[in-house]
Amino acid sequence: MSNTSILYGAGGLVVGALAGVAFSGSDSSEDLRKVLGDTVVPAQEVAQKAAKSHEEQLAALQKRLDALEAGLAENAPDLTAVTAGLSKEMTAKLDSLSTALGNEIAKSSAAQAETLKATLADLSAGIEKNARAAVTAMAGTDDAGPAAPAKSASDNDTMLAGALGVGDTALFAEGAVRAFVSRIDPSGGAVRLSVNGGLVTLGAGGSTKVSMGRSDCTVTVEALNGQGVTLGSDCGVLPPPPALTAPDDGVAPGHAVSLADGAVRVFVSSVDSDARTARIAVNGVQTQQVSADSRLGVESGDKSCTLQVTGIGEGMIGFEASCD
């Protein structure tokens, strides 16, 4: 039972006793003192005991709270130390990540850096050599001067650059291929070139492959001597057109030919030998343009046929046909 209930009970006894005296009609002070002595005094004692018990309970509760706070203070982690440790760990991880990223960037650019370094070294050596040659020439000696600047000439299957010295560049395929002369070693019979950014060392007659989109071409050392190096290339050079000879069993414009046992009939309307094209009508009057390597599917009755152009030249066109 709680202390509050005890107090309410004692108070109820006092009120009840007084109410009993009042309703009994007694007005004797002796009776009143007796009632008060029998009820109020015990009630006061009860109230004092209840108050003392309540105070003891509050003191015990406060003691428990103090013990709990002390335990928390003793066992709780030092948040400052924890955050400091986390900060140190994050800093170390970020430093490690930064170092790894720097290493990857260094690796990816190492090859380009070496290429640039070698090219600059060769260029510096070439400039020094040319300067010495110029000083010698001014002194009246017969020592060879620097090679002539780059120039181009062409024939049917190659492009030639005039004699080049160190520091000169040969351009081929309208500038799509650039061959920079990095170093010349006439005594060793070798020249170092930077072709579209890639270093290569070649001897006289040597060549290097160059990728140009869907096709490849080459840059070749045509000549190498004390005067410089001459480079040639087939890059950007159009192949010679095929011979425009008349195909076997060729058909001239205005004539028709029956093929595959009559299943395919072709009428030739016109032929353009230079463009290697012709206009024909197959199994009808509707014309279409074909080239020297055209292959057409033709339906003839219940047969599936194929018409192949075998060649165009000298104003004529040749055909072959087969049916399944």
Q: Is residue 80 part of a domain?
A: no
Q: Is residue 280 part of a domain?
A: yes
Please state, in angstroms and as integers, the Cα–Cα distance from residue 23 to each residue in 10, 18, 27, 202, following that order. 20, 9, 10, 138
Q: Is residue 212 part of a domain?
A: yes
Would you call 136 exposed, middle or buried from its count of C-beta atoms within 10 A (0-12, 13-18, 19+)?
middle
Q: Is residue 88 part of a domain?
A: no
Overall domain count for the chain: 3
Q: Is residue 158 part of a domain?
A: yes
The Cα–Cα gap between 228 and 170 comes to 12
Q: Indicate if the pLDDT at residue 153 is higher than 50.
A: no
Q: Is residue 148 part of a domain?
A: yes
E strands in the chain? 152-154, 159-164, 169-172, 177-185, 190-195, 198-203, 207-212, 215-225, 228-233, 256-259, 264-272, 277-282, 287-291, 295-300, 303-313, 316-323
Same domain, 112 and 202: yes
pLDDT for the residue 121? 61
Structure tokens at 166: 């160190």
Same domain, 111 and 228: yes
Q: Indicate if the pLDDT at residue 147 is higher than 60.
A: no
Round the average pLDDT of the chain to a whole number and report it: 74
Tell me: the pLDDT tens digits for 26-84?
445 566 566 556 655 666 676 677 667 767 877 777 787 777 767 666 655 555 555 55
Question: Which of 195, 212, 240 is the last residue in one of the domains?
Answer: 240
102-116, 137-151, 220-234, 253-267 — which is least confidently predicted?
A: 137-151
Q: Are 168 and 131 in contact (CB under 8 A)?
A: no
Indicate the pLDDT class of residue 165, thresholds 50, 70 and 90. very high
Q: Is residue 300 part of a domain?
A: yes
Same domain, 236 and 298: no
Same domain, 187 and 219: yes
Indicate the pLDDT class of residue 139, thresholds 50, 70 and 90. very low
Q: Indicate if the pLDDT at residue 205 is higher than 60.
A: yes
Structure tokens at 153: 């000439």
Same domain, 130 and 229: yes
Which structural domain, as residue segments, surrounds residue 29?
A: 3-73
pLDDT for the residue 52? 74
Tell me: the pLDDT tens digits for 241-269?
665 677 888 999 999 999 999 999 999 99
Same domain, 60 and 22: yes
pLDDT for the residue 44? 63
